[in-house]
A = this chain, B = another copy of it.
Amino acid sequence: MEYTVQKLAELAGVSARTLRYYDEIGLLKPGRIRTSGYRIYGRKEVDRLQQILFYRELGMPLEQIAAVLDSRDFSRLETLKEHRRHLLKKQQRLSQLLTNVEASISAAEGETVMNDKAKFEGFKKRAVEENEAKYGEEVRRKYGDAAVDRSNAQFLSMTEEGADRIKRIEEEMFTALEAGMDAGDPGGEAAQQAAALHREWLTFYWDSYNPEAHAGVADMYVADDRFKAYYDKQREGMAQFLRHAIHVYVKK
């Protein structure tokens, strides 16, 4: 079964403009193009559009959707299972919103009292969800991500102790990195201290540690602009230096 733009748009509940835009940015290319120039979409494209719409439902930016779908280890089945997990979480949040609105109705009818924090239950989870969609829960788990976690902790009122500990470790790590960069030696004491702290910092996300994964994270920091920017904002070249320090560290 093949579709031209409008037909597929109707089928999927999107606009034809959206499909052309997705073609333009390379997110969803037509299966083939007629000599007339018409875009023709087939089974593969239909399936891919479904995946796109599931991710879009979560608020994931289109560029990232493309990256996920184009990655080497993409599997339709695994991705559908992931969608299911996300949708179940979204369902929980919706239940929270419903609880919130019921409580707000009671308060408005004068039956109960509601504090300001409770009035926003569910909305903060939306912020978290969008953060996760943007940065990817998988990415976070694999590589750690201070920006997202600080943001999430802020919203979710993570325990003070836990949040403080993460913060302290990170600060110490940055201090050690600065000293290491001053010394200019990725294998020096300060740099290796930073790498160890980084390892400790990762334990908040990992169930178990292994050096290869640690090195992989370090590579990611340099390869991915978001991470690189985070560290280089502290000091130019810090992401690269940290990567070097970690590579030395994991070889011990």
Using a CB–CB cutoff of 8 Å, the interface residues on chain A facing chain B are: 1, 10-14, 43, 46-47, 50, 53-54, 57, 76-77, 80-81, 83-84, 87-88, 90-91, 94-95, 97-98, 101-102, 104-105, 108-109, 116-117, 119-120, 123-128, 154-155
B80, B98, B127: which contacts A87 (Cβ < 8 A)? B98
- Chain B residues within 8 Å of A43, by CB: 116
A43–B107 alpha-carbon span in the complex (Å): 13
A218 to chain B, nearest CB (A): 31
* A11 close to B120 (CB less than 8 A): yes
* A13 close to B123 (CB less than 8 A): yes
- Residue among A43, A81, A128 having the largest count of chain B Cβ atoms under 10 Å: A81
* A102 close to B84 (CB less than 8 A): yes
A154–B76 alpha-carbon span in the complex (Å): 29
A81 to chain B, nearest CB (A): 6
A54–B83 alpha-carbon span in the complex (Å): 24
B13, B57, B94, B104: which contacts A50 (Cβ < 8 A)? B104
* B84 close to A94 (CB less than 8 A): no
Nearest residue (CB) in B for A103 is B80
* B108 close to A80 (CB less than 8 A): yes
* B155 close to A10 (CB less than 8 A): yes
* B91 close to A87 (CB less than 8 A): no
Nearest residue (CB) in B for A84 is B101
B13, B83, B95, B109: which contacts A127 (Cβ < 8 A)? B13
The number of times this chain is found in the oligomer is: 2
* A50 close to B97 (CB less than 8 A): no
A54–B126 alpha-carbon span in the complex (Å): 11
A5 to chain B, nearest CB (A): 14
- Chain B residues within 8 Å of A14, by CB: 123, 127
B10, B53, B76: which contacts A108 (Cβ < 8 A)? B76
- Chain B residues within 8 Å of A88, by CB: 98
A19 to chain B, nearest CB (A): 13
A200 to chain B, nearest CB (A): 27
- Chain B residues within 8 Å of A11, by CB: 116-117, 120
* B97 close to A57 (CB less than 8 A): yes
B1, B54, B117: which contacts A101 (Cβ < 8 A)? B54
Q: A13-B124, A54-B97, A87-B94 are in contact. List 5 more A-B contacts (CB 8 A).
A: A11-B120, A12-B123, A76-B108, A81-B105, A94-B94
Ordered by A's residue number, 13 sampled pairs between the chains whose C-beta atoms are within 8 Å are A10-B154, A11-B116, A13-B123, A13-B124, A43-B116, A46-B116, A47-B119, A53-B123, A77-B105, A83-B101, A84-B102, A87-B94, A88-B98
